[in-house]
Amino acid sequence: MQTEPQICFDDIPVDEQVRDEALAGIADLERIYDRITGCHVVIAQPHRHHRDERLYAVRINLFVPGAEIVVNKEHHQDHAHEDVMVALRDAFLVARRLLQDHIHRLRGEGKFHLLPH
């Protein structure tokens, strides 16, 4: 990666375990595609002021030559995202899928759907 990855906590306390997990997610993406030039991850609780809603949101901006892949995971109904690690994992799964789609497009490959037998 050309620039140091940025992990930001938006108006919530910094958590080193969460930061380490985000860095591990970025490293996983770099194993898939070694031409990533930068990555910015923001972890937030956008609706913290609501007593009943304490869900985490994760935004990932992944920079690759000629493109930016953006994942913005806000799950208003997914109570599994009350756990920041689950929200982070889900966001990186989407980033992985979008990065793989980008790689297929670069190679001129279409998107293939497997049909059930």
pLDDT band at 8, cuts 50/70/90?
Answer: very high
Is 87 within a domain? yes
**Model pLDDT, residue 76:** 56
28 vs 34: CA distance, rounded Å: 10
Across 8-16, average pLDDT: 93
Is 117 within a domain? no
Residues spanned by the domain of 40: 6-106
Give me the number of domains the chain comprises: 1
Q: Which of 43, 33, 22, 39 is nearest to 105 (CA)?
A: 33
- SS3 state of residue 32: helix
For residue 23, what is the domain's CATH number? 3.30.160.100
* Whether residue 13 has pLDDT greater than 70: yes
- SS3 state of residue 58: strand
pLDDT tens column, 34-59: 999 999 999 998 765 555 567 889 99
Is 91 within a domain? yes
Is 113 within a domain? no
**Model pLDDT, residue 53:** 60
**Model pLDDT, residue 110:** 59
Across 83-112, average pLDDT: 87
Instruction: List C-alpha distances in Å: 25 to 31, 46, 73, 107.
Output: 10, 22, 15, 24
